[in-house]
Structure 1
Amino acid sequence: MGTTGGASGTRRSAGTLGTDDDVATQPLVLRGSELARAEPSGRARGRERPASAPVPFVGAVGGQGSRPVDRVVSTGMADRLAEKAAMRRHRLRNRVLGWAAAVLAVAGGVWVVLFSPLLGTDPAKVEISGEGTVIDVAQVEQVVSQVSDVPLPRVDTIGLRDAILDLNGVRDVRILRVWPDGLSVTLESREPVAAVPHEGAFALLDRDGVQVGTVDAVPEGLPEIGVTLDEQGARSLRAARIVLNALPSELRAEVAEVTAPTQDAVTMTLRDGAVVEWGNEEDAALKVRVLQALRALPENQGVTLFDVSAPTMPISR
């Protein structure tokens, strides 16, 4: 019996030793964030693994390669992925809010500039200049008043210019915006340069031949053109206007009357009584210089006739 007991003891010792050796040689398995010994293969086979258990991957003992074992996804990695997703959502939300704020700012600026009364045109801040002697300023103000309270950027300056050009005596006009709510209107007047007899009165003509008014008598300082305003006198009138436009202002102021039986026979009568035979409209600049030179000569004082129709061979007597 002692032998048997000894044998049994020996067997138990051997069994115990075998169990310890098995534990020592078991591979390590990752369980969450801790390492654990893998169960003996016999016991692992004798037990069913839950169907939902993840299969981790762990290297074999001794660096002999690797084999699949139970695997658990790291909760730290999941937290990092969730954090990145949250950051993406945050950036997207900030971007959308930024674009929305920009759109609102632009829309607000457009409303202030184009529709709010802040930039409405103030009639009291409209400056009108250059009206001359024939333009009625009240008519210009009435036209400009049509854009009162209209925001300055929306004022139709082209349409406003066309409306002012339709007024009597306006040759040209320049309109500028004066921020924040004013306008500058600079007129160019059709100043009369001659008076032509017409229907018992005198029509005032500017340098382009446009009638800018009618008066009962020739205004002081304006020459009278002795032609008719009908089609028959159109060519003679044109020749007379060209001669007057070619004269310097100081010489034109001395002209009392211009006659033109034909377009090639223009004659001027000066205010001192002297007569100038001008001829046609050609060589106007040369004729002006010759006439000025002849009148400046001391020996020509008191001369009553200057013929410059052939400027290279002038005659005075």
Structure 2
Amino acid sequence: MARRDDAGQDGAVVPVVRSLTTAPTNRVPVLSTGMAERLAEQRAMRRHRIVRRIGLGAVAALVLGGALWVLLYSELLSFDTDHLAVNGTGSSVDPVAIREVVSQEAGTSLALLDTVRLRDQILAVPNVRDVDIARQWPSGLRVDVEAREPVVAVPVEGGAALLDRDAVEVARVDSAPPELPVIDIPLTGDDRRTVEAALVVLNSLPEGLAAEVASISAASQDAVTLTLRDGVVVEWGSSQDSALKVRVLETLRTAEVSRGAAVFDVSAPTFPITR
């Protein structure tokens, strides 16, 4: 576009060109007040969440620490001998001896009490066959003892040795109790294995039949003989197939054909003999 320049000397037309570009500016864009407030709120919320998490963590740590202190060190959860229950000592285990062993743990936190070590100590008490220990919160213990109970008597010099089902000597007495079967086999050397074999046979009998056994003899581990209280002799043989031998013997004793038999040979249970 041209225009007349009034300042010109000769009236010539001087072209004037207007720039179509925007002049550069150094101004920084300014966020709206509302946006700035929202950003500030978000930063404040993040700080609040962080502080809240730290606070909750501190509270949880204090609660956990307090609970652990109560569990491990407070007298409220320590073993008190007044809350000790000992069961199952029978006639062969001294309950006082059990209590003396367990009482050594008095004042120990139940959570820290070493029941494995305590169990080993109780097993060392004479005639304890097995034991189970249970914590009784908040401050007690229950000790269930399986005592070794005599099941047979073996003649020895000066009396009789009473053995349990594992052939462990429980006691020595002047004479064999009448309710126990007698094993007339020495307890020394190889004969002891024969005694153990005889006990395996006795342990395999049902309770009613075992109560009828008056004595047990054995020429070897494979030649066990039972004498019942009514005088009947049962040639049992080895401890193998004992369950089958029990069924065969019970059948023979009630069968009409074997009525009055004095000897039942079930050493070969599929071919039993009576005479």
Letter aligned with residue 292 of structure 1: E
Higher helix share: 1
Q: Work out the CA distance in 1 between the residues paired with 2:174 and 2:82.
A: 36
Match of residue 176, structure 2, among 205, 211, 218: 218
Give 2:69's aligned amino acid: W
TM superposition shift of 1:251: 0.6
The size of the alignment, in residue pairs, is 255
Q: Does 1:156 align with 2:114?
A: yes
2:55 pairs with 1:103: no
Which of 100, 106, 109 is 1:142 aligned to?
100
Partner of 1:127: 85
Three-state SS of the structure 1 residue aligned to 2:107 is: coil
Shifted more, 83-92 versus 163-172: the winner is: 83-92
Q: Give the superposition deviation at 1:169.
A: 1.9
Distance in 2, matches of 1:266 and 1:84, equals: 92
**d(CA) in 2 for partners of 1:124, 1:291:** 53
2:216 equivalent to 1:255: no
Provide closer, same or farther for how the CA distance between residues 76 and 195 of structure 1 changes in structure 2, counting only shifts above 3 A: same
- TM-score by length of structure 1 reads 0.69
Partners of 1:95 and 1:160 in 2: how far apart? 44
Whole-angstrom distance in 2 between the partners of 1:65 and 1:176: 91
1:203 aligned to which of 139, 147, 161: 161
1:190 aligned onto 2:186: no
Partners of 2:197 and 2:274 in 1: how far apart?
Answer: 23
Letter in 2 for 1:215: V
Distance 2:25 2:269 in 1: 122
Query: Given the alignment of the two structures, is residue 175 of structure 1 paired with residue 128 of structure 2, yes or no?
Result: no
1:311 to 257, 269, 274: 269
SS of the equivalent of 1:312 reads: coil
Match of 1:240 in 2: 198
Using CA pairs under 8 Å that are at least 6 residues apart, name the structure with larger relative contact order, 1 or 2. 2
> Structure 1's 88 and 245: CA in aligned 2 closer, same or farther, altered over 3 A?
closer
CA–CA distance in structure 2, aligned partners of residues 283 and 75 of structure 1: 98
Which range is displaced more, 298-307 or 115-124? 298-307
Instruction: For residue 134 of structure 1, report the CA deviation from its aligned partner.
Output: 1.6
Following the alignment from structure 1 to structure 2, what is the Cα–Cα distance between the partners of residues 197 and 175?
Answer: 36
Give SS of 1:278's match: strand
Distance between the aligned counterparts of 2:157 and 2:26, measured in 1? 122
Moved more, 227-236 or 305-314: 305-314
Whole-Å separation in 2 of the counterparts to 1:140 and 1:99: 46
Q: Does 1:285 align with 2:243?
A: yes
Q: Secondary structure at the match of 2:25?
A: strand
User: Once superposed, what is the RMSD of the aligned Cα atoms?
Assistant: 3.2
- Unmatched 5+ stretches in structure 2: 1-20
Unaligned runs of at least 5 residues, structure 1: 1-62
Q: CA distance change for structure 1 residues 78 and 204 in 2, over 3 Å: closer, same or farther?
A: same
| Cα deviation digits, residues 29-66 of structure 1 (max 9, x gap) | xxxxxxxxxxxxxxxxxxxxxxxxxxxxxxxxxx9545
Closer, same or farther: CA 246–68 of 1 in aligned 2, 3 Å: closer
Aligned partners of 2:259, 2:181: CA distance in 1, in Å? 23
Equivalents in 1 of 2:70, 2:57: separation in Å?
20
Whichever residue aligns with residue 101 of structure 1, its letter is V
Identity %: 51
How much has 1:77 moved relative to structure 2? 10
Mapped partners of 1:131, 1:166: distance in 2: 14
Does the C-alpha gap of structure 1 residues 219 and 64 become closer, same or farther in structure 2, counting only changes over 3 Å? same
Structure 2 CA distance, aligned partners of 1:287 and 1:245? Answer: 13
Q: Once the 2 structures are TM-superposed, how far is the Cα of residue 271 of structure 1 from its aligned partner?
A: 1.0
TM-score when normalising by structure 2: 0.79
